[in-house]
Amino acid sequence: MTRLGWIILAVVLLFAAAFVSMTSFGTADRRMTRVDTPPPPPAETTAGPLVVPVAGVRRETIVDSWGDPRGGGTRGHHGTDIPAAQGTPVIAAASGTVEKLFRSVRGGTTAYVRSTDRRWIYYYAHLAAYAPGLREGQPVRAGQQIGNVGDTGDAGQGNYHLHFGMQRMRPGERWYQGEDVDPYPMLAARARGR
């Protein structure tokens, strides 16, 4: 074969290899996950949705605020805001252990509760105050008061609400390292016929 023949053969083989690397011939798993499919519920809530974390608030009144613009449009909202009167009790959405009590610029007075199976963090922000005696390492049960609705952090004065967030945790991750997950489907589940 001539030198030109070898070059043409090499080019053809390169194109064939590139084509094969980008093509599936039926051996791959063809299951697809819809982007809008809610994540599976945390293990301790498989019998139903999470407890609404603000006393007296009905599921059907919760509005989906996931992804709404924040910070002048520089970031998306990673949680569900639940408006309520100042001082309304904030209750644990699921059982777990208080992992961190923290005051931050954005979240204000916050509490992080890790689920009993350690796979989830439940995040409560803009609290006016913690429930009396609440401390890190304390076990809490679903429905137990952990604080009160406030407007701390960047909520804005008089904008009383609970910012409720969820993070999926991997083994060994700390309270601030999880992957944000939209909590709305598990807060409003019954209202949508689940």
Task: Please list the pLDDT of the chain residue by residue as tens digits (194 residues).
Answer: 787 776 777 667 666 665 555 544 443 333 333 334 444 444 443 334 799 999 999 998 898 877 666 767 667 678 889 999 999 999 999 999 999 999 999 899 999 999 999 999 999 999 999 999 999 999 999 999 999 999 998 888 998 999 999 999 988 888 888 888 989 888 887 544 43
C-beta atoms surrounding 101 within 10 Å: 17
Domain spans of the chain, in order of start: 50-192
End-to-end CA distance of the chain: 70
3-state secondary structure the chain: CCHHHHHHHHHHHHHHHHHHHCCCCCCCCCCCCCCCCCCCCCHHHCCCCCCCCECCCCHHHCCCCCCCEECCCCEECCCEEEECCCCCEEECCCCEEEEEEEEECCCEEEEEEEECCCCEEEEEEEEEEECCCCCCCCEECCCCEEEEEECCCCCCCCCCEEEEEEEECCCCCCCCCCEEECCHHHHCCHHHCC
Q: How far is CA 45 from CA 8, 170, 187, in A?
A: 62, 18, 11
Q: 50-192 belongs to which homologous superfamily?
A: Glucose Permease (Domain IIA) (2.70.70.10)
Q: Is the pTM of this model over 0.75?
A: no
**Residue 13: per-residue pLDDT:** 67
**Residue 143: per-residue pLDDT:** 96
Using CA atoms, how far apart are residues 135 and 176, in angstroms rounded to an integer? Answer: 18
